[in-house]
Amino acid sequence: MSIPKKGTRKIIVDREPFIWLIRRQATYTQAYYDCGNLHVAVEHSEKRGSVLVILTDRPHPQGLTPTNKVKPVTPSDTAQWIRQAVQLGWQPRRSGITFNVQIAGGRAEKIY
């Protein structure tokens, strides 16, 4: 699986190039099962391998419970989460299934 190029942003983390994307509209899962939080998809930009999906603790503005308190996902947040996912075992250059993590208390935790 790979993420679409349209709407992606480039980021360099520890000298490795990645692209990342935040879904613009809440998916069914985001709106109803994940309490309407934002999801971020990340993949290596040169060697397509496993995709990282980050279930953030940030509310989606179009989620089930609309909120006026929007906390944006910044490039520094994304870089930090990528580093944490690599420490948890994500191998962005190796083909494989989607690697899912959830953000809790500012830390990434692997979801099985």
The full DSSP string for 3-52 is --STT-EEEEETTEEEEEEE-SS--HHHHHTSTTEEEEEEEESSS--PPE
Q: Could you read off the pLDDT of 91-107 as tens digits, one per residue?
A: 999 999 999 999 988 89
Q: Could you read off the pLDDT of 35-55 as tens digits, one per residue?
A: 578 889 999 999 989 999 999
The structural domains of the chain, with segments of one domain joined by +, span 9-106
pTM for the model stands at 0.84
